[in-house]
Chains A and B, each alone.
Chain A
Amino acid sequence: VTIELSEEASAPLNPASLSVLFIEFFKVSLLGFGGGIALAHRAAVERRRWLSEAEFADALTLCQFMPGPNVVGIAVCIGAKTRGAAGAMAAFIGFAMIPGAIGFGLALLYLSRTGIPLVQNILSGLSAAAAGLMLATGLRLLKPHIRDPRVVAFAGLAFAGLAIARFPLLLVLAVLTPLSIATAVIARGRCP
């Protein structure tokens, strides 16, 4: 069985403008509360149609397997995909630089006072929902491949290793990556 995760979307994709890239990632960053991947998917794939579902999964995969803050990577990759270096810069400024400066100001303000209970309550609601959004985004990306036992098995193993057994990420990746590559090669039915 040949596994092809890169099939193109049937409908044509829209071009992106630098200012809209900036605004979208600014929103994803400020409103994400740890659920940034779900919001980036909503903006780039569903609403703006800059990338296909497969291209999004592709960028996400690359970011997961590279060092650094992964969600920032998504912004850089989507910017690079749609508008090259300028797009990557616009998405980065919108996602990281401006919100970072705002967050830094808020943090200094917060450190100069004690926490306000109402703010704490709102934040616990937001972070609970953000965790659910992240969970659902992973499942949604998995959904197109639900009939492929190899994909489901390795997604399940990665989940179990990290979330249930609580092994360190590097250990999970060091064990599962070679196995996954080996089975993918065998599934393609030829030598590498």
Chain B
Amino acid sequence: MTPITRLALFLALMSSISFGGIPPVLPDIRHFVVDTNGWLTDQDFANFFALAQTIPGPNMILMMTLIGWKVSGLVGAVAAAGATAVPPCTMYFVGYRLWDRCRDKPWQRVARASLAPLTFGLIVAGGTVMAQTVDKSWGAVAVTAAAATLLLATRVNPLWLLGAAGALGAFGLV
């Protein structure tokens, strides 16, 4: 098998079992591309991760695209992006169709009543963990707190909040 095929099959497997998003399977991916195959160095892997965080768009797909690019250029990039995005998106589509069609089934009422509270908690936790990672100054903590408070308390468009925070950052205040 060519490296592209092996990478694509591995990423398709990883994205199909990545409950909670791609980050939980990152250690496995690192092991495969750095230790097992030696396609990337540890430094490449860390750089791609950091870079993907700072570029707009779906960042984990971008990170896998960069790994594919490193393995075999543009073809590798496209193959890696497809392998990461297509299997889960197919599952989302089929899963949602079934879920939506069975809206009023008793089993789904129980599933919804049990899973929705966990979802709410996981999202707040996700924001908190992200804040702990990116907030490196008290200014940044204040921006996170202000954005959260304003979104909850007012009907302000979140884009204004992002814009204001970007401007504060530009002036070196974050």
Contacts and interface: CB of A to CB of B under 8 A. Distances in A.
| Central interface residue in B127, B147, B168, by most chain A CB within 10 Å | B127
A163 B124 contact: yes
A157 B122 CA distance: 9
B53 interface: yes
A165 B166 CA distance: 31
B92 A129 contact: no
Contact of B128 (A66, A67, A118, A159): A159
Contact of A177 (B16, B24, B91, B114): B114
Contact of A158 (B100, B125, B172): B125
B38 interface: no
Contacts of A39: 158-159
B54 A65 contact: no
Interface of A: 3-6, 29-35, 37-39, 42, 46, 57-73, 76-77, 80-81, 85, 88, 92, 95-96, 99-100, 102-104, 106-108, 110-111, 118, 120-142, 145, 150-163, 168-170, 172-173, 176-177, 180-181, 183-185, 187-188, 192
7 contacts: A68-B88, A124-B174, A133-B148, A156-B121, A162-B122, A184-B113, A188-B110
